[in-house]
Structure 1
Amino acid sequence: MITCRAPGKLFVAGEYAVVEPGHPAVLMAVDRQAIATVADSDRGLSIRSDLLGKSVFRCERVGNAMSLPHADAAVRASLAYVLAAITIVEHLLIERGGRTRPFQLEIHTGDFADADGRKFGLGSSAAVTVAVVAAFAEFYRLSTSPMDRFRLAMLATVAVDPRCSGGDVAASTWGGWIAYASPDRHRLRALSTRGAIDLLLHSDWPGLSIRHLATPTTLHLEVGWTGEPAASGELVAQFTERQYSTGYFERFLEESTDSVNRLISALEVGDVVEVKHQVRRSRRILCGLDDAIALGIMTPALSRLCAVGEELGAAAKPSGAGGGDCGIAVIERGAKPEIELMRNRWSRAGIRSIPVQTYPATRESS
């Protein structure tokens, strides 16, 4: 039996711009974990996920892919990244001369949702993908580095949706705080359909950049959950459809890139004032994008979350695609009275404070 874990994530800055290859974002891995456990089976292939109740879903290998022939569309959609992750690892196994085996897989993601199963928006899909890739790589005794596992998880992700930037996949792979820029995912998807997965693990991925940042020691990051589920994939799809509909897009990319790079520099030297300034600037940049192409990033609840944070001296913004889910407030670690007051005022506004810490960075070499 093999068990692997992967953390969730929060976007600190660079949302939407990071969808364009080569443009940076900053993310923080959080201590909410997806857990994947895989073991040999004498009853064929099966998957059980806590988000789908206690049901066991039988799967089959059809051609070069995994399928769920007896599941409905909702279940297949829920497990799409899981099936893609298994498929990509088994492709690598076969390329390296190995043989697939029957398995039973269990997935636990309770850290990412409330008691009613509503997700917080902390990157559960990416965490599950990374955990499943790691578990099956170990299950099949494939030698893989963190970069290998990131690339496998990324290939699985783009097989499902090439619009995903992969920043969440990187945070779930390496932990800690990272600066990330995305590769050309449509190119990766096209190349992966031709096979040669092992070659893709060692080839150049133009645009990709992943760099660890020191975890801030003088800052506290408070997370507020609006209780409104956000359809991140749909928002990103709307962004890609509308981004060239006005002349604002190039300006947006320039401003976001400049702000994220300044944020990275401030984090590296521990400049708290500049970090907060760039977090605020990131919010204004996202609001400008929202005004230009009407994505619906800033909901009333997210606006209230940010307003409360700012009134108490924090730098606040949506985290991720917006349209619901979470916002963040960055404030000095010693400002405990303000942090407690912010939590109380959020609660009165129907916003739930979600306790998270930075998930430690991996010590494995890339």
Structure 2
Amino acid sequence: MIKVKAPGKLYIAGEYAVVETGYPSIIVALDQFVTVEISRSKSYGSIVSKQYREDSVYWRRRGDQMILDNRDNTFNYIISAIQLTEEYAQSLGRQMELYDLRINSDLDSPNGKKYGLGSSAAVTVATVKALCQFYNLPLTKSKLFKLSAIAHLDVQGNGSLGDIAASVYGGWIAYRSFDRSWLMAARMQEDLISLVNKPWPHLKITQLTPPDGLKLIIGWTGSPASTSHLVDKVAVQKSNQHETYTHFLAESKACLDELIDGFKNGSLSVIKEGIARNREILQHLAAFTKVPIETPILKKMCDIAVDHAAAAKSSGAGGGDCGIVVADKDTDVDSMIAHWQENGIQQLALKVHPVIDLDKE
């Protein structure tokens, strides 16, 4: 039996801008996982997951027509990962086999609420990784990222794929997204092997080392949010207010470039200033798009952290889910968490998952 795992993630900075080709972000992998086990089967194959067997299905109207939205149904990412990896395996001459796939996730709360830790990305990466081992396919981090990114994009259709990168590489990463229009065109013209082996335009993934003394603290609002739906809303507004949106992109890039330099130079003060600045930039984005990125409870979470000499902001698409705090020796963490609890905010006791060695995972 083969058993693999992929960690969840949280965005530290650069949200929304990162969906645009080449714009930077910082993401961290966390020590909560999706685990996939795979074993040969004789009569028929199975996919079993206690978390995803009763996943929600969302739909909307297009005129009188019902349109299903499968982007928040994790099971669809599992199927997409299987189909894409088997296409890759067949192109490398492997014979298809029957197998049982068992999936277990730590990335949601015990009562089934999503923390916003990238469960769809982690389950995609873990499924691709397990099947590559099962079919004995040559695998590097770059190939695992590209296979998982294609499979994930086939379902979600938008997003930066930074959560895929975090699940593949581990640790802290600086991530710049590739040109997804190029990928869509290239898939029509090139075979999967050459696509996985070649460089992707603008894609850049760099491991970062946090400075000594940096404490990452995660607060959860208890209110799940849909990343894909929030990204859709911003996409609608950016075409209506192109000049303002372009200014947002420039501000985000300048902020993230400084933040990444802060990591490279080991400057905790620069990192804290960058987190505070990125929060302001996202607040401006929320104001002109009318997208509720920093909800009242996320604002409360961040304001409490700032009152305790830390830097804080929403994480990911916002609208609920988690916020992140960058603290140092001057932060009274116990007092901050106590004030959180008084306001219905829960600390998630998560740690950064170290840089991943594919041979040991």
TM-fit CA distance, 1:46? 1.1
Give 3-state SS (helix, strand or coil) of 1:112's partner: coil
Q: 1:49 to 1:335 in 2, by over 3 A?
A: farther
Identify the range of structure 1 (32-41 vs 240-249) with the bigger mean alpha-carbon deviation.
240-249
- 2:353 matched to 1:353? no
Aligned residue for 1:259?
Answer: 255
TM-fit CA distance, 1:192? 2.8
TM-fit CA distance, 1:187? 2.9
TM-fit CA distance, 1:335? 4.5
Give 2:197's match in structure 1, choosing from 186, 202, 212.
202
| Count of residue pairs brought into register by the alignment | 346
Distance in structure 2 (CA, Å) of the matches to 1:108 and 1:265: 37
TM-fit CA distance, 1:126? 0.7
TM-score (norm 2): 0.92
Aligned residue for 2:65?
Answer: none
Aligned residue for 2:90?
Answer: 94
C-alpha RMSD of matched pairs (Å): 2.0
Distance in structure 1 (CA, Å) of the matches to 2:310 and 2:92: 52
Amino acid at match of 2:347: S
Amino acid at match of 1:360: P
Answer whether contact 1:15 1:25 (CA < 8 A) is retained: yes
Aligned residue for 1:273?
Answer: 269
TM-fit CA distance, 1:77? 3.1
TM-fit CA distance, 1:112? 1.2
Q: 1:101 to 1:364 in 2, by over 3 A?
A: closer
Aligned residue for 1:62?
Answer: none
Deviation string for 1:308-350 (max 9, x for gaps)?
0011011010000000000011110x346x1111111111111
TM-fit CA distance, 1:150? 0.5
- 2:44 matched to 1:44? yes
Deviation string for 1:262-295 (max 9, x for gaps)?
0000111111111100000000000000001111
Identify the range of structure 1 (112-121 vs 10-19) with the bigger mean alpha-carbon deviation.
112-121
TM-fit CA distance, 1:356? 1.1
Map 1:125-204 to 2 at 5 A: 125-192=120-187, 196-204=191-199
Give 2:206's match in structure 1, choosing from 207, 211, 234.
211
Distance in structure 2 (CA, Å) of the matches to 1:27 and 1:54: 30
Q: 1:74 to 1:173 in 2, by over 3 A?
A: closer
Distance in structure 1 (CA, Å) of the matches to 2:92 and 2:223: 45
Answer whether contact 2:305 2:325 (CA < 8 A) is retained: yes
Answer whether contact 1:38 1:103 (CA < 8 A) is retained: yes
Distance in structure 2 (CA, Å) of the matches to 1:173 and 1:363: 9
TM-fit CA distance, 1:196? 0.9
Q: What stretches of structure 1 of length at least 5 have no aligned partner?
A: 56-71
TM-fit CA distance, 1:54? 9.4
- 2:27 matched to 1:33? no
Distance in structure 1 (CA, Å) of the matches to 2:16 and 2:71: 28
TM-fit CA distance, 1:218? 1.3
TM-score (norm 1): 0.90
Answer whether contact 1:159 1:189 (CA < 8 A) is retained: no
Aligned residue for 2:103?
Answer: 107
Aligned residue for 2:61?
Answer: none
TM-fit CA distance, 1:216? 3.3
Give 2:225's match in structure 1, choosing from 224, 230, 240.
230
TM-fit CA distance, 1:363? 3.7
Q: What stretches of structure 2 of length at least 5 have no aligned partner?
A: 56-67
Q: 1:232 to 1:75 in 2, by over 3 A?
A: closer
Amino acid at match of 2:200: W
Distance in structure 2 (CA, Å) of the matches to 1:364 and 1:42: 29
Distance in structure 2 (CA, Å) of the matches to 1:114 and 1:213: 29
Map 1:312-327 to 2 at 5 A: 312-327=308-323
TM-fit CA distance, 1:194? 5.3
Deviation string for 1:130-166 (max 9, x for gaps)?
1111000000000111110010000101111231201
Distance in structure 2 (CA, Å) of the matches to 1:186 and 1:41: 39
Distance in structure 2 (CA, Å) of the matches to 1:188 and 1:225: 35
Answer whether contact 1:121 1:326 (CA < 8 A) is retained: yes
